[in-house]
Structure 1
């Protein structure tokens, strides 16, 4: 039997689904097509989540067609923004997977509060000549959002020290967008574009995400995973666990 190319092999259609997976093909060569690997590896996960007591085929999730944005960063962000806006208008929860962390910039104007799970602050005004770099994500969000909280930061550049930021150990806000840069994890767990030792364990990250139970998550992304089996499997497992947390 051929498995449907959808996250967790889900058979839900768009109208039935609560969560919409958006696979974004964008970024550096090592992670550009990671979304495809993440979806493929999700098909190898066990069908039942023992930790949260839920069957994955009971989670109402739908996988959007592959999104390959323009190579022009500003156009790419507008294209993704329009897709997100459409999904939100249907009262769905969008979940982008990729790919470069810069795709989070496309959410500007759609959400007011953010939790950024990241090893880095990403507060550069411009990086390598672009305002749309992965190193500028936090800065763009701060410019247009009410509140931003960080979890897992361990690398701070001198240029970023003049920007005020808040760290978060336990969730204290509601109605937020969650962005997970997988480099928050120690490199022993996963390969990412910008690895940094001394990171969180997988268990620590899951425990933090468990803190969103009962809160209103309006959208999410999971980014910066290198496209290899170990890393895409772990990312698929993390996304599946996050969905299980929200549904349990």
Structure 2
């Protein structure tokens, strides 16, 4: 099943909001070929995957529950390029929190991350765009039991307080993992490493613990590995808030 077929299969679904009112996925218009070519040029390879082109011809995104708007064409809209040099901003809650899909240097669309500003953490949300749609459908049917609710309301605080997600640079330099070792060797001695390559949904790292402004933060080009320098300072989220809109998600 393609991502477009998957989305179309969800269109007949009827959900209930917290007040008992029915709602459904409301797709927006698709993009023209000219618009698709335009956003393709924002990607590292200048090309969109064939299944994403098909999706964008069908719809650029959809509204869900009147307050969640999902967009598939938000390429390059996320403000923190240090964390995600190439990404799709799938959604935001109007409060400085974002759902971001990572794109590697080969133009491949990968995992979806929840980037929270308070607490300042990055969490693996879904392993693909397809699974992200499954999680949206799950949230519509079982809000409080859903992956989306759990990460938004609980996991971010667990990552911040307990599972901060960092490894010591020296350990990373001496590992048998060649990709991790090479990346660690390229960094100065004051860096910490966050590695989310093979981690499950709910794993993450507290990016605001050591360097809240993300100065000097580096992402390995084709791996979900980050180097974050230890730096004292106060939280500063202007870039995130500048990108946020006026819609706010109320999770129930």
TM-score range, shorter chain: under 0.3
Give me the TM-score of the superposition, normalised by structure 1. 0.27
Structure number with larger C-alpha Rg: 2
Give me the TM-score of the superposition, normalised by structure 2. 0.26
Q: Looking at secondary structure, tell me which structure has more strand per residue.
A: 2
Q: Looking at secondary structure, tell me which structure has more helix per residue.
A: 1
Greater RCO (CA < 8 Å, at least 6 residues apart): 1
